[in-house]
Amino acid sequence: MPFPFEKQPRESAKAFAAFSLYLSLGAERSTREVGKQLGKSEGLIERWAAKFDWQSRVAAHATHLAVVEREAIEVAARGKAAEWASREQKLRETEWAMHESAIAAAKKGLAAYMEREKVYANLADIARMLEIASKLGRLATGLGTDGERRAGDDLPTLRVEVTVALEKIYGDPLPGEIVDVETVPALPEKTA
């Protein structure tokens, strides 16, 4: 089954050519302009337009283009998301490798310091190396530098806990006390 904007089963080649021209005229489209450009009477063009429902075919074409455009945007967005996910994973792997190298260097420096061999680092340098290694390791595994999960993973739980605590302190709100922030008029801005 063809799309509505493609040649229809009982539509002649000339009638379809006229429709195609009509479709391509965009905002300037009219049966008069099609007749003028094709050297046909406006009456013939209007009969074809009515018989083959040009108005709904133009609408179907616009809808089809919108769907195609949306799908292309979604494909591009998924591609970008995959690209960024790949970059994130690559960065995490790099940070983890740096973490491992920093730990090894700190262990070597600490061992040399403890054995009083040739020491190229002092305890402060070793401590700083371990601190950096720890941060790199935490970031590479998805933890914040403070050991907590990143990106607000626990925010919904926190909201529930705050709500429960408020209800415990103040009790259930009365029906008239609930204010929808969306409907409250904005305060006028201060002018300087």
Contact 83, 106 (CB under 8 A): no
Mean pLDDT value of segment 90-108: 83
User: Between vectors from CA 149 to CA 148 and to CA 151, what angle results, nearest 5°?
Assistant: 125
User: pLDDT tens for residues 32-70?
Assistant: 999 999 999 999 999 999 999 999 999 999 999 999 999
d(C-alpha 18, C-alpha 4), whole Å: 15
Query: For the chain, what's the residue count?
Result: 192
Cβ-in-10-Å burial (0-12, 13-18, 19+) of 126 comes to: buried
Q: Which two tokens mark 173?
A: 């709100």
pLDDT at 29: 92
pLDDT at 85: 85
Closest CA to 31 of 55, 11, 59: 55
User: Hey, is 149 helix, strand or coil?
Assistant: strand
Q: Which two tokens mark 125?
A: 């340098």
d(C-alpha 102, C-alpha 109), whole Å: 10
pLDDT at 111: 79
Ramachandran sector of residue 142 (left: φ over 0; alpha: ψ -120 to 50; beta: rest): left
Query: Is 89 a residue whose pLDDT tops 60?
Result: yes
pLDDT at 191: 58
User: pLDDT tens for residues 104-134?
Assistant: 887 887 777 777 766 666 777 777 777 877 7
Q: What are phi and psi of 184, to 5 degrees?
A: -75, 130
pLDDT at 98: 82
pLDDT at 155: 40
Average pLDDT over the chain reads 77
Q: Which two tokens mark 42?
A: 């406006």
More confident residue, 111 or 189: 111
Mean pLDDT value of segment 20-26: 93
pLDDT at 154: 44
Share of the chain above pLDDT 70, in %: 72
Query: Is 170 a residue whose pLDDT tops 80?
Result: no
Query: Is 179 a residue whose pLDDT tops 50?
Result: no
